[in-house]
């Protein structure tokens, strides 16, 4: 199964079979997170929690939204704070999510619906660690009405088309025919388009240049001191990077600032430097 197949199979799962997944699969997923490619040198930890170990605490920590989630396990991402850590957290955690998908396990990003301080205490972490995101993990309950309803509420089937997300050299400019006819490149963009984001807001935009792909965000969203739209950008960057690599397109992400022609108020996140391809 290639990365595009895995991305197309990934959905947000909120109801799970009560029987636990195999300990081998769960530990392999956690290790996939620990060993994921990174955008920064930020220290991050992936904690695997079983229902028997943390069930009552987790249900209280997730909050109202968590009432719809019944999972035998959870994976929690804790991170130190440094420049670019939220974008990097999204980049790494999505690699773990896709590894879980490839193993037939269901996941669901939960970034806002828990009290960070309570969960940090439950994990015996000091105040230098931030709890960025968690996910329930387990075997999806087949044809669950809850899964279908909440995917509809989250707008998971209403993603924006490519021409509203990817531009040529200037915000709002459509891709030229020479670029739009590049099959490999369009597969990369399509996989990126399917990246999950909070409430499916898709706050990220990409600008294609001759040898770079810029990513920037156009919306603000901050809770508990964390700009979760930066996390969303990291998820999309993960999809782009993994799909490009799978198709033989070599490149590397660099975080930093740059000019964004054609739009005001947008925030630069990073650029993907193409090493063996000119657009």
The pLDDT tens digits for 170-216 are 999 999 999 999 999 999 999 999 999 988 889 999 999 999 999 99
Answer whether 146's CB lies under 8 Å from 68's CB. yes
Question: Per the domain annotation, does 157 fall within a domain?
Answer: no
| Residues 168, 133 share a domain | no
Strands of the sheet containing 251-255, edge to edge, are 166-168, 204-208, 212-217, 267-274, 251-255
For residue 203, the domain's CATH number is 3.40.109.10
Q: What pLDDT is attached to residue 63?
A: 47
- Separation between Cα atoms, residue 21 and residue 108, nearest integer Å: 16
- Rounded Cα distance between 134 and 115, Å, is 11
The string of DSSP letters for 68-101 reads G-B-SEEEEEEE---TTHHHHHHHHHHHHHHHHH
Range of the domain at 60: 3-149
Residues of the chain with pLDDT under 70: 52-68, 112-114, 143-157, 220-225
130 and 236 both lie in a single domain: no
Our count of domains for the chain comes to 2
Enumerate the β-bridge partners of residue 195: none
């Amino acid at each position: 199964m290639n990365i595009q197949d895995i991305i197309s199979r990934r959905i947000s799962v909120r109801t799970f079979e009560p029987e636990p997944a195999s300990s081998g699969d769960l530990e392999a997923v956690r290790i996939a997170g620990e060993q994921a490619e990174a955008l920064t040198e930020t220290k991050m930890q992936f904690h695997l929690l079983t229902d028997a170990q943390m069930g009552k605490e987790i249900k209280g920590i997730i909050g109202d939204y968590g009432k719809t989630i019944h999972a035998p396990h959870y994976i929690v991402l804790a991170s130190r704070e440094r420049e670019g850590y939220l974008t990097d957290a999204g980049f790494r955690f999505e690699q773990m999510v896709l590894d879980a998908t490839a193993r037939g396990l269901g996941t669901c990003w939960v970034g806002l619906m828990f009290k960070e301080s309570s969960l940090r205490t439950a994990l015996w972490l000091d105040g230098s660690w931030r709890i960025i995101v968690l996910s329930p993990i387990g075997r999806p309950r087949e044809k669950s009405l809850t899964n279908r309803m909440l995917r509809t509420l989250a707008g998971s089937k209403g993603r924006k088309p490519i021409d509203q997300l990817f531009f040529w050299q200037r915000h709002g400019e459509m891709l030229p025919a020479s670029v739009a006819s590049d099959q490999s490149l369009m597969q990369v963009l399509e996989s990126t388009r399917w990246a999950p984001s909070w409430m499916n807001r898709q706050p990220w935009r990409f600008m294609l240049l001759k040898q770079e792909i810029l990513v920037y965000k156009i919306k603000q969203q901050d809770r508990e001191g964390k700009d979760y739209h930066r996390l969303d950008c990291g998820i999309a960057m993960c999809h782009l990077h993994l799909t490009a690599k799978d198709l033989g397109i070599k490149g590397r992400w660099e975080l930093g600032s740059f000019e964004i022609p054609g739009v005001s108020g947008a925030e630069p996140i990073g650029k993907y430097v193409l090493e063996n391809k000119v657009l």
